């Protein structure tokens, strides 16, 4: 038997950047994201002779398969299932050029293929909780459009739900790849390191207000508000990294240059905003009409830049 699921990546507009419980991946804050059409993972689960993990058709070493099988064992435990040998094959349609982490789509697809393989009767709320245990951001990739991961206080209450799966907003994301090097610090390590910043607690205290403002911006179809709030929230996350002890940053010189270009475009009346995750690459939020101008400027300012255009993507689906 073989079951395949597809899930799309998402970009957080209000970021998750801190864990209350590392084992269960319970977050310290609620987050809100946009699911992206251009980037997705397809994961198949089938009966195997032994546990095997193939990524993009390449068999992975035991070490890199470890996170996958530790996760699957947790799921098997929670449903009282035996540790059957499984062959997991995943294809990531998330080009490194996107500068987007694939863990959100990867664990959402893995959780969904697991439930399909064992024919488990789970609703999307439960599926979101299961995906969360693999990677926090994966909880939001269960849904299309805009999704909110409510932080909750325990395993049962921490899950994502859809805010608007078919948004009317004219919103596009340009993934600007400035740097192909693997990130210096994983998101797990970065989140840990950030927590002793003197600004971490004040940031947490703002989470409810920022989330509510973002929800209002989405409900009012207000791109200006959405973009400026997303940019502020990303800058807060990176300011926390810069003020942690010891301090660190994901920014590279080209990240700052890209930020300045976005500001320059805005001054010229070409409205766009940036958001940045745990890496040096920049994602630009823009209405459709500005894409051409933005691309033109970035292609002329950076010699090796790759730019991929995305918009709203769908939630998780079972393919066979
Ligand atoms: O779920 P993780 O461990 O990939 O962490 C995601 C962290 C950010 O991408 C920076 C923010 C987010 O909410 O997606």
Is residue 153 located within the same domain as residue 41?
yes
pLDDT score for 48? 93
Domain membership flag for residue 316: no
Q: Can you give the CATH number for the domain in which 268 is found?
A: 3.30.70.890
Is residue 110 located within the same domain as residue 228?
no
User: Is the pLDDT assigned to residue 99 strictly greater than 70?
Assistant: no
Of 166, 188, 206, which marks where a domain is finished? 166
pLDDT digits (tens, 9 = 90+) for 159-185: 999 999 999 999 999 999 988 777 778
Is residue 157 located within the same domain as residue 11?
yes
pLDDT score for 97? 55
Is residue 303 located within the same domain as residue 234?
yes
Q: Output the CA 278–ligand 1 centroid distance in Å.
A: 7
Q: Output the CA 12–ligand 1 centroid distance in Å.
A: 7
User: Is the pLDDT assigned to residue 95 strictly greater than 80?
Assistant: no
pLDDT digits (tens, 9 = 90+) for 4-18: 999 999 999 999 999
Domain membership flag for residue 315: no
- Please state the atom number of ligand 1 nearest to the C-alpha of residue 237: 10
Q: Can you give the CATH number for the domain in which 67 is found?
A: 3.30.230.10
Of 104, 135, 166, which marks where a domain is finished? 166
- Computed over every residue of the chain, the mean pLDDT equals 95
174 CB within 6 A, ligand 1: no
Of 151, 166, 181, which marks where a domain is finished? 166
187 CB within 6 A, ligand 1: yes
Is residue 183 located within the same domain as residue 263?
yes
User: Is the pLDDT assigned to residue 193 strictly greater than 90?
Assistant: yes
250 CB within 6 A, ligand 1: no
Testing ligand 1's pocket by substitution, the residue of 11, 14, 16 carrying the most ligand atoms inside 8 A of its CB is 16
Testing ligand 1's pocket by substitution, the residue of 187, 203, 275 carrying the most ligand atoms inside 8 A of its CB is 187
Q: Output the CA 101–ligand 1 centroid distance in Å.
A: 8
Domain membership flag for residue 218: yes
Total structural domains in the chain? 2
Testing ligand 1's pocket by substitution, the residue of 7, 41, 101 carrying the most ligand atoms inside 8 A of its CB is 101
Is residue 238 located within the same domain as residue 176?
yes
Per DSSP, which regions of the chain are E strands? Answer: 2-14, 19-21, 26-27, 31-47, 52-55, 58-59, 86-93, 146-150, 159-164, 172-177, 273-275, 282-286, 306-310, 317-318
CA neighbor of 140 nearest in space, from 228, 25, 222, 45: 25
pLDDT score for 181? 75
278 CB within 6 A, ligand 1: yes
Is residue 153 located within the same domain as residue 19?
yes
- Please state the atom number of ligand 1 nearest to the C-alpha of residue 278: 10
- Please state the atom number of ligand 1 nearest to the C-alpha of residue 135: 1
The domain in which residue 8 lies consists of 2-166
Domain membership flag for residue 317: no
| Beta carbons within 10 angstroms of residue 303's beta carbon | 6
- Give the relative orientation of helices 124-134 and 62-78 as an angle to the nearest 10 degrees: 140
Predicted ipTM?
Answer: 0.99
Is residue 73 located within the same domain as residue 142?
yes
Is residue 152 located within the same domain as residue 46?
yes
Q: Output the CA 267–ligand 1 centroid distance in Å.
A: 30
pLDDT digits (tens, 9 = 90+) for 230-285: 999 999 999 999 999 999 999 999 999 999 999 999 999 999 999 999 999 999 99
281 CB within 6 A, ligand 1: no
Is residue 18 located within the same domain as residue 157?
yes
Is residue 32 located within the same domain as residue 153?
yes
Beta-ladder partners of 23: none
Is residue 237 located within the same domain as residue 140?
no
């Amino acid at each position: 038997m073989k079951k395949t699921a597809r899930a799309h990546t998402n970009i957080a507009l209000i970021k998750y950047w801190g864990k209350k419980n590392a084992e269960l991946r319970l977050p310290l804050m609620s987050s809100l994201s946009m699911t992206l059409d251009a980037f997705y993972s397809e994961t198949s689960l089938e009966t195997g002779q032994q546990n095997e993990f193939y990524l993009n058709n390449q068999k992975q070493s035991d070490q890199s398969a470890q996170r996958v099988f530790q996760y699957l064992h947790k799921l098997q435990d929670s449903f009282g299932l035996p540790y059957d040998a499984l062959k997991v094959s995943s294809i990531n349609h998330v080009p490194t050029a996107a500068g987007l982490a694939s863990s959100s789509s990867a664990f959402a697809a893995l959780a969904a293929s697991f439930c399909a393989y064992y024919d488990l009767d789970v609703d999307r709320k439960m599926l979101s909780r299961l995906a969360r245990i693999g990677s926090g951001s994966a909880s939001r990739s269960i849904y299309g459009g805009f999704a909110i991961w409510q932080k909750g206080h325990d395993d049962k209450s921490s899950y994502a739900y859809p805010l608007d799966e078919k948004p009317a907003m004219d919103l596009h994301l340009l993934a600007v790849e400035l740097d192909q090097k693997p990130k210096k610090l994983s998101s797990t390590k970065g989140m840990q390191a950030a927590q002793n910043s003197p600004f971490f607690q004040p940031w947490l205290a703002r989470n409810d207000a920022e989330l509510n403002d973002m929800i209002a911006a989405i409900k009012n179809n207000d791109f200006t508000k959405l973009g400026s709030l997303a940019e502020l929230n990303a800058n807060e996350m990176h300011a926390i990294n810069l003020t942690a002890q010891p301090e660190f940053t994901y920014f590279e010189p080209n990240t700052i240059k890209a930020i300045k270009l976005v500001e320059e475009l805005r001054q010229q009346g070409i409205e766009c905003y940036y958001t940045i995750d745990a890496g040096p690459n920049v994602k630009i939020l823009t209405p459709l009409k500005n894409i051409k101008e933005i691309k033109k400027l970035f292609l002329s300012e950076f010699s090796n830049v790759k730019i991929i255009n995305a918009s709203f993507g769908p939630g998780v689906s079972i393919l066979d």
